Amino acid sequence: MTEKLDLDHLRGWIGKTTEASDIVTGQLVKGLRATLFQEIGEPRTGDAAPWTTHWCLAQPVFPMSQLGPDGHPTRGGFLPPVPLPRRMWAGGELEFLDALRVGDEAKRTSRIADVTMKTGSTGALCFVSVEHTITTPRGVAIRERQDIVYRDMSSTPPAASGKPAPPPPVAKHRESHMADPVLLFRYSALTFNGHRIHYDRDYVTKVEGYPGLVFHGPLQAALIVEFAAKLHGGAAPKKLGYRGVQPLFEGSEFSVNANDTGAGLELWTANSDGQPTMKGTATW
């Protein structure tokens, strides 16, 4: 039984800040390019890194004794101690002002912006919004909001309703890849992400009740960002908002899709049936 959720107590974390810094290395850029299905090359000092390289930098490091059963750090510290055991990345917004480059020392300043409660089909949901500012010696490179959602372990993942799925959206621009365990492992390693739903099939199927390994939310978002930039001559969007709409699982083909709009692009990742798993909107 999950302990009672005290929203007033958790909202006491609003305004809490932390800072961290790291170096963008050529080896990191090679690994991330490979994982994002890009040409790997031989990155040199000053070369631009993939647009979401900051998600690989200065990740929190905790001793094994401070990890929970899901592989995440135990609750508390910078993030509020939400007493709901399932934690996932729900969505967010990115604002790109400058590329990170090989050799940069990148500094991340983070702030808890909001803590809210909602009730969904699987029970109580707690959302924590975190604002990040990424700077380099040249100034601000990225501003970001991340929305993290927590829910109870006793609530099983939504079952299929039995209703036929709506027709999948038709994309003007599309590329497809395989969502295999090696891809998920590589991204977990690059981001020092110990969450077991991404690599431990026994855990994710027997404890959390999913049908297979779960694709990372930020990996889907990273692919959306890079696809948007690819369609605009390498230039990242000025702003890109995204949100997860359903889990994407390993073991089958998935796609990254886009349609032109008057202001930019509508983007989405989709499972092998063509159903969207994450949606995004990019503007330049």
Asked whether the predicted pLDDT for residue 76 surpasses 70, the reply is yes
The confidence score (pLDDT) of residue 156 equals 53
The confidence score (pLDDT) of residue 154 equals 60
In a domain, 2, yes or no: no
Report the first-to-last Cα separation within the chain, whole angstroms: 47
Asked whether the predicted pLDDT for residue 159 surpasses 60, the reply is no
Cβ(108)–Cβ(132) below 8 Å: yes
Q: What percent of the chain has pLDDT over 70?
A: 95
Which backbone phi and psi does 147 adopt, to 5 degrees?
Answer: -110, 115
Asked whether the predicted pLDDT for residue 108 surpasses 90, the reply is yes
Question: What is the mean predicted confidence (pLDDT) over 229-254?
Answer: 97
49-64 burial, b if ≥16 CB within 10 A, otherwise e? Answer: bbbbbbbbbbeeeeee
Q: What percent of the chain has pLDDT over 90?
A: 88
The confidence score (pLDDT) of residue 157 equals 56
Q: How many CB atoms are closer than 10 A to CB 238?
A: 13
In a domain, 112, yes or no: yes
C-alpha dihedral sign at 236, 112, 215, 211: negative
DSSP 199: T
Which tokens belong to 171?
């994309």
We report the CATH number of the domain holding residue 126 as 3.10.129.10
Count H helices, E strands: the chain? 5, 10
In a domain, 130, yes or no: yes
Show the domain range for 57: 11-283
Looking at the structure of the chain, the number of domains it has is: 1
In a domain, 160, yes or no: yes
Average pLDDT of the chain is 94
